[in-house]
């Protein structure tokens, strides 16, 4: 199990790279994360939902994704509450304080899923969440040491030298956790080193001396990590400087923002994330409103930033708009939530650019689909991951067709479009056709091959800088 000294120290990337390295050695490898918190989900091959990082790690293992790779997924809906997904399906929505009571009851599901993965693999690489040094969360824990203890798993601790103080990060973790938990940690990794790693040899030895843990290597900064799908909102940033500018308002509960990764990889495309309080720039070619975990709440947030006024001006200038999932729902005439699924029951006026109405429903759609892009005739694959049903006249002018049925909608003037489909831009043929439709240049980029190449280079990077043989030796031999 790879745990970290804190959030965003690079655990997900380390696990993905180790998974690919071990897979390249001929081992059958499974990734696993008992509990994840992310609004960047992925639909699995067995019809559920897991965190995007585990879907990438499954790709690194060259195996189909499964709900058992991430049995508990928390999807923040408000500042103090989240939707709880268990083994791929929605269980409930709870306040953070109430989750502390629910959490211990979920240990059985995490152990069940872990056993299922273990039975199919030579080795399982497990990713922790946050840090085991958060001792206030230790009771009932299922994300770090609580799970490791219950499953009797050895732990490797990763520290982030780029943010500074890595000696204190690692030594301090040992100082605050229990002796039992400290004994479970068998080694450590220094991650994100910039410069000459030999300059840290004395610091490396200091950590070994003060902790008694085996040093497994210092990993230099991997510059191409941004080319892999990101899960953490902390990783969101504008990119590119091409001739076609796509502006993305950064919603408070933005979800599945990895939809933009293939577009960001195109050399002729500039992706510009607009932070709260900033205006949508007037030189945008297209405004893309992304998915949201809380559509009604984020529609209110959208208006609070004045983005509705900026969007009106953009459309008046002839600019195009695309809404995906929650963004699609916002562009309609209204969003009704009669059962109070997202908050107080009621109806909210939409932005009004698509002649559709949305009704929130308790059943969550989690489906992989093959669709036809009506404007070009191109077939592509995508996935739905949403609650709510949208209908209205503009669906007669839909973007896609699924088995003879319309999917999405388009305004009569063709400027505003919407779809429930995620993942569509990863298909090279569709992306090229869609960019051509927008009047944008495309490069013929093979996005899937790019991701595969980065995973292989990441694996090689870790093989060169980590003692992979020692990591295998530390693994619990069952």
> Domains, the chain, ranges and CATH?
2-227+453-474 (3.40.50.300), 244-440 (3.40.50.880)
pLDDT of residue 450: 93
pLDDT of residue 96: 78
| Residue 182: closest CA among 111, 132, 230 | 132
Mean pLDDT across 246-264: 91
Residue 409 has pLDDT above 60, yes or no: yes
Per residue in 176-232, pLDDT tens?
A: 999 999 999 999 999 999 999 889 999 999 999 999 999 999 999 999 998 888 766
- Among residues of the chain, what percentage have pLDDT more than 90? 77
- Among residues of the chain, what percentage have pLDDT more than 70? 97
pLDDT of residue 82: 85
Per DSSP, the three-state class of 130 is coil
DSSP per-residue letters across 43-59: E-TTS-EEEHHHHHHHH
Lowest mean pLDDT among 13-22, 112-121, 248-257: 248-257
Q: Where are the alpha helices (DSSP H) in 331-417?
A: none
Neighbours of 180 (CB within 10 A): 9
Mean pLDDT across 46-56: 93
Tokens of 130: 């946050």
Mean pLDDT across 265-289: 95
- Which residue did the predictor score with more confidence, 364 or 118? 118
Band (pLDDT 50/70/90 cuts) for residue 354 is very high
pLDDT of residue 344: 86
Please tell me the distance from the alpha carbon of residue 65 to that of residue 423, in angstroms, as a whole number: 15
Band (pLDDT 50/70/90 cuts) for residue 293 is confident
pLDDT of residue 229: 82
pLDDT of residue 233: 52
Mean pLDDT across 66-93: 88
Residue 410 has pLDDT above 60, yes or no: yes
Residue 335 has pLDDT above 70, yes or no: yes
Residue 478 has pLDDT above 70, yes or no: no
Q: Where are the alpha helices (DSSP H) in 33-165?
A: 52-60, 96-102, 107-120, 145-151
Average predicted confidence (pLDDT) for the chain: 92
Lowest mean pLDDT among 29-33, 74-78, 267-271, 365-369: 74-78
pLDDT of residue 44: 92
Neighbours of 377 (CB within 10 A): 9
pLDDT of residue 95: 84
Per this entry, what is the length of the chain?
A: 478
Band (pLDDT 50/70/90 cuts) for residue 148 is very high
Instruction: Give catalytic residues, as residue numbers.
Output: 325, 422
Band (pLDDT 50/70/90 cuts) for residue 81 is confident
Please tell me the distance from the alpha carbon of residue 429 to that of residue 409, in angstroms, as a whole number: 21
């Amino acid at each position: 199990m790879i745990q970290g000294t804190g959030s965003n120290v690079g655990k997900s990337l380390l696990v993905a790279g180790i998974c690919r390295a071990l897979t390249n050695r001929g081992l059958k490898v499974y990734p696993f994360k008992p509990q994840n918190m992310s609004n960047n989900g992925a639909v699995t091959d067995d019809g559920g939902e897991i965190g995007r990082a585990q879907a990438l790690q499954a790709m690194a293992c060259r195996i189909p994704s499964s709900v058992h790779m991430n049995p508990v997924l928390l999807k923040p809906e408000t500042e103090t509450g989240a939707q709880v997904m268990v083994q791929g399906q929605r269980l409930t929505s709870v306040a953070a304080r109430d989750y502390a009571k629910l959490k211990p009851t979920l240990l059985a599901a995490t152990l069940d899923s872990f056993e299922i993965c273990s039975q199919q693999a030579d080795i399982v690489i497990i990713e922790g969440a946050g840090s085991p040094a958060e001792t206030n969360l230790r009771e009932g824990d299922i994300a770090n040491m609580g799970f490791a203890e219950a499953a009797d798993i050895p732990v490797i601790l990763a520290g982030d030298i780029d943010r500074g103080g890595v000696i204190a990060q690692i030594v301090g973790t040992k100082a605050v956790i229990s002796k039992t938990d400290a004994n479970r940690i068998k080694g450590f990794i220094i991650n994100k080193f910039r410069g000459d790693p030999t300059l840290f040899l004395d610091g490396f030895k200091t950590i070994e001396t003060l902790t008694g843990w085996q040093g497994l290597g210092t990993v230099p900064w991997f510059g191409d990590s941004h080319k892999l799908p990101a899960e953490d909102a902390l990783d969101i940033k504008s990119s590119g400087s091409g001739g076609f500018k796509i502006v993305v308002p950064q919603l408070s509960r933005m979800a599945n923002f990895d939809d933009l990764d293939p577009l960001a990889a195109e050399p002729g495309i500039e992706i510009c994330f607009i932070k709260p309080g900033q205006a949508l720039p007037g030189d945008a070619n297209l405004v893309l409103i992304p998915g949201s975990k809380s559509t009604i709440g984020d529609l209110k947030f959208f208006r609070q930033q004045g983005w509705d006024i900026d969007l009106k001006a953009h459309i008046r200038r002839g600019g195009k708009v695309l809404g995906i999932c929650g963004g699609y729902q916002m562009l309609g005439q209204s969003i009704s939530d009669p059962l109070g699924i997202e908050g107080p029951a009621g109806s909210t006026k939409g932005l009004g650019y698509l002649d559709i109405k949305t009704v929130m429903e308790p059943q969550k759609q989690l489906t992989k689909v093959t669709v036809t892009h009506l404007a070009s005739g191109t077939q592509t694959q995508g996935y739905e991951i949403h609650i709510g049903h949208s209908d209205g006249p503009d669906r007669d002018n839909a973007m896609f067709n699924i088995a003879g049925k319309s999917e999405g909608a388009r305004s009569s003037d063709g400027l505003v479009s919407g779809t429930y489909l995620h993942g569509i831009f990863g298909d090279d043929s569709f992306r090229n056709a869609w960019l051509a439709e927008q009047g944008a240049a495309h490069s013929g980029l093979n996005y899937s091959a790019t991701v595969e190449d980065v995973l292989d280079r990441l694996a090689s990077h870790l093989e060169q800088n980590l003692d992979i043989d020692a990591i295998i030796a530390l693994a619990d031999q069952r």
